[in-house]
C-alpha cells in the first residue's frame, strides 16, 4: 500500500453511541468490530452482525478474544485501542477512525492518535498512516444530536423519493417533493423550478396559509 493513492478509511465500531454516531456522521464508510472477549462482547457482536446485514461495507468481526483475559473490574482493557488500530492497518487501511476521546485512559487521549500515527509511519515508511478522532471537539450530546438530525433528514429524503417514484409525471413529482419538504420544515411557501438549457420547462408551486389561534 503506497502513499500516493487515495486513503482507505475504516471506523472502529465498538457498537457504543460514540462510535456509531461517528460512523453515521462520516456517511457510513467501511467499519470493523473487534470481539475482545469481554463480558459484553456477545451482545456487541450480535448487534454488529444485525447492522452488517443491512450495510455490506461492514467487515467481518475480527477476533481478539484473547484480550478478554486482561479485562479489569471497570471493563477496561489496557492497550486495546493500540492493538485494534494496528490490526486495522494490517487489514490494508491507512486512515483509522476512533471515537470518544477521554483523559482517564492513556489510549483515549488525542496524543495517542498522533503518536500511533507516527509509530506506524516509522514502521512502514512510505505509507501515510493516520489515526484520528474527527469529532474530538464535540461533546457526546452534540454528536448524538447531530446524528439524530441527520437520520431524520435521511428518512425525509427517503420518504419523498419513494412518493416521487410512484408517478412519472414531472409536475406531480415536483409537487410531491415540495409538499413533503414543506410539511417537514413547516414552510409557508415553496417553489421548485426545473430549468433545461436556460428555458423553464416545469415549475411547481405549493402555498399554504397558516392561521394562528
Query: Would you state the pLDDT for residue 163?
Result: 59
Instruction: Please identify which residue in the block is written with the cell numbers 467487515.
Output: 59
Question: Could you tell me which residue, 108 or 87, shows the higher pLDDT?
Answer: 87
pLDDT for the residue numbered 203: 47
* Distance separating alpha carbons of residues 99 and 17, to the nearest angstrom: 10
pLDDT, residue 83, reads 95
Q: What is the percent of the chain where pLDDT is above 90?
A: 43
- Mean pLDDT confidence for 157-161: 59
User: In the chain, which residue ranges form alpha helices assigned H by DSSP?
Assistant: 17-25, 41-54, 80-90, 110-123, 140-164, 170-185
Q: Closest Cα to residue 31, out of 42, 20, 17, 44?
A: 20
- Rounded distance between C-alpha atoms, residue 184 and residue 166, angstroms: 20
Give pLDDT, residue 78. Answer: 87
Which value, in Å, is the radius of gyration of the alpha carbons in the chain? Answer: 23
Provide the CA 154 distance to its chain's centre, in angstroms.
Answer: 13
Question: What residue segments make up the domains of the chain, in order of their start?
Answer: 9-135, 141-207
Per-residue model confidence (pLDDT) at position 3: 46
- Confidence bin at 29 (pLDDT 50/70/90): very high
Under a CB-based contact definition with an 8 Å cutoff, are residues 9 and 95 in contact? yes
pLDDT in tens, 70-95: 998 888 898 899 999 999 999 999 99
Of 12-26, 76-90, 98-112, 189-203, highest mean pLDDT: 76-90
N-to-C CA span, the chain: 65
CA angle 78, 82, 86 (to 5 degrees): 145
| CATH fold for domain 9-135 | Rossmann fold (3.40.50)
Mean pLDDT of 137-166: 65
Q: Which of 1-15, 92-106, 111-125, 195-209 has the lowest mean pLDDT?
A: 195-209
Across the chain, what does the average pLDDT equal?
79
Amino acid at each position: 500500500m503506497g502513499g500516493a493513492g487515495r486513503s482507505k478509511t475504516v471506523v472502529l465500531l465498538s457498537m457504543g453511541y460514540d462510535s456509531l454516531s461517528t460512523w453515521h456522521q462520516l456517511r457510513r464508510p467501511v467499519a470493523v468490530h473487534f470481539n475482545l472477549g469481554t463480558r459484553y462482547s456477545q451482545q456487541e457482536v450480535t448487534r454488529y452482525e444485525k447492522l452488517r446485514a443491512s450495510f455490506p461495507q461492514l467487515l467481518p468481526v475480527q477476533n481478539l478474544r484473547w484480550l478478554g483475559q486482561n479485562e479489569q473490574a471497570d471493563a477496561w482493557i489496557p492497550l486495546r485501542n493500540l492493538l485494534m488500530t494496528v490490526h486495522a492497518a494490517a487489514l490494508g487501511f491507512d486512515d483509522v477512525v476512533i471515537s470518544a476521546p477521554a483523559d482517564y485512559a492513556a489510549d483515549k487521549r488525542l496524543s495517542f492518535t498522533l503518536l500511533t500515527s507516527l509509530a506506524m509511519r516509522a514502521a512502514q515508511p512510505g505509507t501515510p498512516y493516520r489515526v484520528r478522532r474527527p469529532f474530538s471537539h464535540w461533546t457526546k450530546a452534540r454528536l448524538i444530536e447531530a446524528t439524530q438530525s441527520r437520520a431524520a433528514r435521511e428518512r425525509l429524503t427517503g420518504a419523498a423519493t419513494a412518493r416521487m417514484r410512484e408517478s412519472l409525471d414531472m409536475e406531480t413529482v415536483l409537487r410531491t417533493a415540495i409538499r413533503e419538504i414543506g410539511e417537514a420544515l413547516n414552510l409557508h411557501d415553496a417553489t421548485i423550478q426545473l430549468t433545461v438549457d436556460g428555458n423553464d420547462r416545469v415549475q411547481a408551486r405549493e402555498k399554504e396559509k397558516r392561521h394562528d389561534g
